Structure 1
Amino acid sequence: LYIEFTRPINLELEKINFRINDEIIGIIEINKNLNDLENFAEPYIDEKTKEKSIRKIYLVQNDFLKILGKKNEKYKVGTGTIEGRFYIDIYIKDLKTNKTFIIKRDNIHIYYESAGIKLFSM
């Protein structure tokens, strides 16, 4: 999960739900401030606006493999065995207002390779 923002923010990455259709098949509980996540690249400075983009990452691969199985044996997502679509819901909490909002990603493509899983969202 890659996150970019232009100044330190008071948001918390609460959790990520993994769903097939409307069924939750797994949950990753995170509860970390976005500012405290690992950097994944040097900050990017926009040439026009001169704003600095802070780039953070939260790796979900190991949790994802626990949910689906190392060889996709639990749900067989993307193999034609299971009907339906794969989704993730990202829960972010505003620590100032204590309100949580959900980012729903519904165009998820999953590929298993010998090197491990690859997950793409468009």
Structure 2
Amino acid sequence: MATDQLSLTFSALSDPTRRALLARLAGGEATVNELAEPFEMTLAAISKHLRVLEGAGLISRSKDAQYRPARLDARPLAAASEWIGDYARFWEANMDALDSYLNALQQLTTNTPSTAGETK
């Protein structure tokens, strides 16, 4: 079953370890050993995370003998950001409508005389 790029990207981003690895790679390329340093997991586990990121197209790894540094490839993140941006515009429009409604309510209460403390 073929999976679209956006699904691969979000699936890869669903794990906090993979997000941390991407954040580290945003600062420059690194080896598996360098990437594994802050984590309490095996090199094999880090390598599995890197394979997921590589499969999603979020990183690339060169093949220079035993030295295989990973580097960030942020292109798939652009499509994810655009997709999320569509929903950000939706929420902004809804918040603007809510703000207008609340302002209208506030105007009504400001222009309506208070009946508190009045006696008949």
Q: Give TM-score scaled by structure 2 length.
A: 0.26
* Larger proportion of strand: 1
Indicate the structure (1 or 2) with the bigger Cα radius of gyration.
2
* Larger proportion of helix: 2
